[in-house]
Amino acid sequence: MTVPPPSLSPELIARFAAIVGPNQALTAPADLAPYIAEDRARFPGRSPLVLRPGSTEEVAAICRLASAERIALVPQGGNTGLVGGQTPLNGEVVVSLKRMDRLRELDLASNTMTVEAGMILQHAQEHAAAADRLFPLSLGAQGSCTIGGNLSTNAGGTAALAYGLARDMALGLEVVLADGRVLNGLSKLKKDNTGYDLRDLFIGAEGTLGIITAATLKLFPKPRAVATAFVGLRSPQHALTLLQLARDAAASELTSFELIAEIAVRFSVAIGNRDPLSGRHPWYVLLEVSSPRSDARDTLEAILTAALEQEVIDDAVIAESLSQRAAFWKLREEISPSQKPEGGSIKHDVSVPVAAVPAFIEQANDAVTRLIPGARPVPFGHLGDGNIHYNVSQPVGADAAAFLARWHEVNAVVFAIVQQLGGSISAEHGIGVLKRDELPMVKDKVAMALMRSIKATLDPLGIMNPGKVL
């Protein structure tokens, strides 16, 4: 069941405002604007009210009132999502968790920290570093995305190869349910076989089942040495061979392995970044080895030497300073914004089995360019875990609006290849509204039925982020 768009009377707005305080209940258009728009401008939103609670108790009170009055809510973290999951598309009330950004506990004996959902990811990393620990989740948006949003979308990022996704970094959650009840699950335990793992229901649910208000996160030993290389090679298949060499030599100390097509490097260079290699190559890899000892560079040099001797790679450079390492990563992280000057870009966040990545890229490139002659595929991403951001830039000189109008046509051919190879249409960005209509076509029918049953049980009135995912 989905509730109709809410009609908020002044009296009801006042009741919500009384929960959070008048200064934290926003109604003026200028104050609402940052919460109802997102960077890609694909999902124009509207809302009569943004609430900024400062505690779990206030979130619970908001949900109790919303449930009683059947008012739809959209939970929101840093508003950096890419699939429209955080946007109030039909006039829902936005519940922004940004004020809930406290570090509740740091437990070095358990190697955990408990933080509130509104904490910015970069601040969580800094809290861990100050305690000589590592919180390894790392994303391009880490300066503005929040822990609650990361967990709600099960974010991946560049360190997933070694540490897993956001789900793998959370031991426990505190969640406010649609009716205002609070699930107190902030466990530090690695072993707890006491029935269903309710935590995993909410991680990746995109706020459709409840509002995550806090999480207990795993911490890891801080690396004592990090070595980073930028490599030029001939094909994704060569990159796959390099990945195997690197895994054999570095094992779990191989923490990042990013595959980048030449066109993506050219786009990033065009907005001011520098190609670390003197010559041009059809493909590139950015890889990193992190060690608790001081031998990360020795390990990386051994990997590259073996790869050169076996003619797996054609050129490579190792970062000689922190600033050079930062420049390597800046080139990678600015691939997405570098596509904007090139016109319209149709995005895909997909995954296939690692061994199938070369076949996926070859088949997708062929299918997309046959569908739209002159289209420019821009594949890049996390080869180590099979996650490819398969973006397609418009033909040079084409009309951007006409190109973007074919978004779902391009999706269809790309997703068909993903399915054929046993992959997923969403690796780390979620479903939101962007992929909602495609989900039933690719998801197991029993799985879809179970998802709908869970939604109906936890949110029988349909007030939690309606119209997203399902």
Instruction: Specify the CATH number for the domain of residue 61.
Output: 3.30.43.10
Give yes or no: residues 245 and 212 share one domain.
Answer: no
pLDDT in tens, 258-304: 999 999 999 999 999 999 999 999 999 999 999 998 899 999 999 99
**pLDDT tier for residue 340 given thresholds of 50, 70 and 90:** very high
Mean pLDDT, residues 374-393 taken together: 95
Residue 387 falls within a domain, yes or no? yes
Weakest-pLDDT range from 51-60, 78-87, 366-375: 78-87
Residue 3 falls within a domain, yes or no? no
The predicted structure's pLDDT at residue 175: 98
What's the chain's average pLDDT?
Answer: 94
Quote the tokens at residue 395.
């033909």
The predicted structure's pLDDT at residue 123: 97
pLDDT in tens, 167-194: 999 999 999 999 999 999 999 998 888 8
Phi then psi for 434, rounded to 5 degrees? Answer: -60, -40
The predicted structure's pLDDT at residue 108: 96
For residues 81-108, b (16+ Cβ closer than 10 Å) or e, as one string?
bbbbbbbbbbbbbbbbbbebbeeeebee
Choose between 463 and 438: higher pLDDT: 463
Give yes or no: residues 133 and 215 share one domain.
Answer: yes
Give yes or no: residues 333 and 397 share one domain.
Answer: no
Residues 6 or more apart whose CB falls under 8 angstroms from that of 152 comprise 75, 77, 85, 202, 203, 204, 205, 206, 207, 212, 430
Give yes or no: residues 135 and 232 share one domain.
Answer: no
Give yes or no: residues 115 and 88 share one domain.
Answer: no
List alpha helices for 428-469, DSSP H. 439-442, 445-458
Q: Which of 338, 357, 390 is the last residue of a domain?
A: 338
Residue 209 DSSP one-character state = S
The predicted structure's pLDDT at residue 139: 87
The predicted structure's pLDDT at residue 220: 96
**pLDDT tier for residue 221 given thresholds of 50, 70 and 90:** very high
Give yes or no: residues 352 and 328 share one domain.
Answer: no
Q: Quote the number of domains for the chain.
A: 4
Give yes or no: residues 206 and 253 share one domain.
Answer: no
Q: Answer whether residue 252 shows pLDDT above 50.
A: yes
Distance in angstroms (rounded) separating the CA atoms of residues 331 and 338? 9
Instruction: Specify the CATH number for the domain of residue 182.
Output: 3.30.465.10
Give yes or no: residues 118 and 216 share one domain.
Answer: yes
Give yes or no: residues 326 and 395 share one domain.
Answer: no
The predicted structure's pLDDT at residue 428: 86
Give yes or no: residues 148 and 180 share one domain.
Answer: yes
Instruction: Specify the CATH number for the domain of residue 386.
Output: 3.30.70.2740
Provide the pairing of β-strand 376-382 with 315-318: unpaired
Q: Answer whether residue 76 shows pLDDT above 50.
A: yes
Q: Which of 381, 399, 421 is the last residue of a domain?
A: 421
Q: Answer whether residue 41 shows pLDDT above 80.
A: no
Residue 150 falls within a domain, yes or no? yes
The predicted structure's pLDDT at residue 153: 94
- The percent of residues in the chain predicted with pLDDT above 90, rounded, is 88
The predicted structure's pLDDT at residue 421: 97
SS3 label, residue 137: coil
Give yes or no: residues 241 and 281 share one domain.
Answer: yes
Q: Answer whether residue 44 shows pLDDT above 90.
A: no
Q: Which of 298, 318, 338 is the last residue of a domain?
A: 338
Phi then psi for 291, rounded to 5 degrees? Answer: -130, 145
Distance in angstroms (rounded) separating the CA atoms of residues 277 and 291? 25
In one-letter notation, the amino acid at residue 417 is I
Q: Answer whether residue 3 shows pLDDT above 70.
A: no
**pLDDT tier for residue 5 given thresholds of 50, 70 and 90:** very low
Distance in angstroms (rounded) separating the CA atoms of residues 133 and 73? 36
What is the extent of the structural domain holding 257?
225-338
The predicted structure's pLDDT at residue 289: 97
Quote the tokens at residue 142.
């880490």
Instruction: Specify the CATH number for the domain of residue 275.
Output: 3.30.70.2190
**pLDDT tier for residue 56 given thresholds of 50, 70 and 90:** very high
Cα–Cα–Cα angle for 210, 465, 174, rounded to 5 degrees: 15
Mean pLDDT, residues 202-222 taken together: 97
Give yes or no: residues 374 and 301 share one domain.
Answer: no
Cβ proximity of 136 and 163 under 8 Å: yes
Mean pLDDT, residues 415-438 taken together: 91
Choose between 24 and 430: higher pLDDT: 24
Residue 235 falls within a domain, yes or no? yes
What interhelical angle do 262-270 and 322-333 show, nearest 10?
110
Residue 86 falls within a domain, yes or no? yes
Residue 5 falls within a domain, yes or no? no
Mean pLDDT, residues 79-93 taken together: 91
Residue 89 falls within a domain, yes or no? yes
Residue 446 falls within a domain, yes or no? no
